[in-house]
Every structure is written in structure tokens, then in C-alpha cells.
Amino acid sequence: MQAARGTSLSDATNSHPAGPTSSRRARLTALFAVVALAAYAVDLGTKLLAVSRLSGRPDVSVVGELLVLHLTRNPGAAFSTGTEYTVALTCVALVAVVVVVHLSRRLGSVGWAVALGLLLAGVAGNLTDRLFREPGPFRGHVIDFLMLPHWPVFNVADMCINAAAVIILVQASRGIRINGMPTSDRREESA
């Protein structure tokens, strides 16, 4: 059967012009929260283990030279850039957390829920270090401990941020907005 303008009834009943139903949005928000909390916990746990087991010790080879555990404390951003801007980076991270939480209120897609959950976990994980680690609040150094050949030392939070970026690029290339609606959807304009 066909609905108006050649759209199938199944499409018409599954997608509302305003976006997902409140129960679907609640499930997506729960998914976002679970991903964020789980990834954040893994990041914090691995950093605690790295500090307790690697402090004052030589590098630990996990997979030959492919993966080495090397504890470092990073005052800067990615690739240890901007080491003199630790306080500014902390403020940017605080704003990023607020923005991601605000954007999560509009979730309409599983991909975006996972991406924003990972992004929140990654930003919050490194922000936690900046707020609570030495040398003090807003100046704390991020714990990095994973080292690959020809790559800067990183942590689980960095992996979460990069995975989120990939998923966001995939969602954007597929034309899916945060609210789950396709970017080519013109229903909003005609309403």
C-alpha cells in the first residue's frame, strides 16, 4: 500500500516529521549515557592502573614494538602541542562537555548516540585529569600510556574522541543529522 505522494505506509508510520518519538528518544538518551559512562570508566580505570603499575618503571612491551606501555604526563593537547595553554585547554574542555550534553537532548539516531557518548567520555576523561591531577586544578597533566611506533603516546579517552570523530564523519557522509532526520529532508521547510 502507498501513502500520499508515493511514500510507503511503513515509512510514513516509522518517521514522524518532528523526528523520533519520545520513547525512542529516551532509548537513545539511555544508549548515549551508557556509552559515555562505560567508556569514561574504562578511561579512568586504565589511567589509574597505568599510574600505579608504570610509575618509575621502564617501558612494558605488550606486542613487541607495536604496542608499548609508556607512562607520560601531558600538559598540552594532542601530540603534546600547546603545553603553555593548559588552563585554556581545560576551559575549552569544560565548554565541550556542556555542548555535547546539550546536543544529546536532540538525539534521533543510534550512530549519533554512540558518537556523542564516546565524545563525552573522551573529553570528560581528559578533563578529569586536568582538574584533579598534578600540578593542580585546571593545570593538571593528562595521563597517557599507550605508545605505537611513530605515533604520540595516547590514552583511552583519546581513542574515544577519535572513534567519535569517525562515527560523526560517517553520519555526516550518510546525510544523517543528530535528530535522525536526513539532511535532504525538506519536510521542515514545507511545514
Amino acid letter, residue 17: P
Helices (H) and strands (E) in the chain, counts: 6, 3
φ/ψ region of 41 (left if φ > 0, alpha if ψ in -120 to 50, else beta) reads alpha
pTM of the predicted model as reported, rounded to 2 decimal places: 0.84
**What was the pLDDT predicted at 19?**
62
Q: Which of 11, 43, 59, 144 is catalytic?
A: 144
- Mean pLDDT estimate for the chain: 88
Residue labelled with grid coordinates 534521533:
108
Q: Quote the percentage of the chain above a pLDDT of 90.
A: 77
**What was the pLDDT predicted at 13?**
37
Bridge pairing between strands 67-74 and 60-63: antiparallel
- Residue 159: enclosing H or E segment and its boundaries? helix 156-173
pLDDT tens readout for residues 54-81? 999 999 999 999 999 999 999 988 767 7
Active site residue 59: no
Active site residue 43: no
**What was the pLDDT predicted at 78?**
74
Q: Rounded mean pLDDT of 92-109?
A: 97
- Return d(Cα 96, Cα 90) in angstroms, integer: 10
Q: Which of 11, 43, 129, 158 is catalytic?
A: 158
- Return d(Cα 188, Cα 14) in angstroms, integer: 17
- Return d(Cα 125, Cα 42) in angstroms, integer: 9
More confident residue, 52 or 1: 52
Q: Rounded mean pLDDT of 87-106?
A: 96
pLDDT tens readout for residues 124-180? 999 999 999 999 999 999 999 999 999 999 999 999 999 999 999 999 999 999 999
Q: Rounded mean pLDDT of 84-94?
A: 93
Radius of gyration of the chain (CA): 21
Structural contact between residues 163 and 120, judged by C-beta atoms closer than 8 angstroms: no
